[in-house]
Amino acid sequence: MSGEGVIPNRVSITRRFKRGTICCPQCNSDALIRDSDQETELTKALWIMCGNVDCGMTWKAQISFVYVLSPSAIPRADLVLPKAPEGYQRRVYAAGPPAAGPDPNQFNMFDEGEHHAAAAA
């Protein structure tokens, strides 16, 4: 067994994110970012090496700024960053099932008057 074509299990993938490694596109093994260069203010080049000795591929990748989701509280007049498309939402969650009725274990803040009246009686 040489290890080519080995797909890491879920634990390995979770560990990869914690260590800052990425996946080799050729053999799916963990790969390490060995060096980086800030190419522009919004683009960084990454020099990456596959950790699988049987693969041994090295490559260049890029991280680039795409757009602002929430603006910075520190303004910079010399930097104009693209904004997210109008109405952009990263995820849309489906609504849960409709409630059958009011939860008897939940205090209703709108019934305060009735609650006091009942307590006084």
CA dihedral for 18, 23, 28, 30, sign (positive or negative): negative
Helices and strands, counts by H and E, the chain: 2, 4
For residue 41, the minimal CB distance to Zn ion (Å) is 31
For residue 74, the minimal CB distance to Zn ion (Å) is 40
**Biggest alpha carbon distance in the chain?**
82
Considering beta carbons, is residue 26 or 36 the nearer one to Zn ion?
26
Considering beta carbons, is residue 33 or 57 the nearer one to Zn ion?
57
For residue 17, the minimal CB distance to Zn ion (Å) is 18
DSSP designation for 71: -
The contact set with Zn ion (CB under 5 A) reads 24, 26-27, 29, 50, 52, 55, 57
